[in-house]
Amino acid sequence: MLRGTAWLTASNFISRLLGAIYIIPWYIWMGSYAATANRSLHHGL
């Protein structure tokens, strides 16, 4: 059970790290429209 918990913890950390690697360049690319684009994504527009 301890190995399963370690795998879950590691995969959760890696997933969050990959998300940060993805979102930071996206915010830079969007520039001043980043906040508006982020709201649109959450509302499904």
Q: What is the pLDDT of residues 14-29, one digit of tens each?
A: 999 999 998 889 889 9
Q: Whole-number mean pLDDT of the chain?
A: 87
User: Cα–Cα distance between 4 and 23 in angstroms, integer?
Assistant: 28
Tokens of 5: 């918990």
- What pTM did the predictor assign? 0.57
Map out the domains of the chain as residue ranges.
Answer: 2-43
User: Cα–Cα distance between 12 and 32 in angstroms, integer?
Assistant: 30
**Percent of the chain clearing pLDDT 70 (strictly above):** 93
User: How much is the CA Rg of the chain, to the nearest whole Å?
Assistant: 15
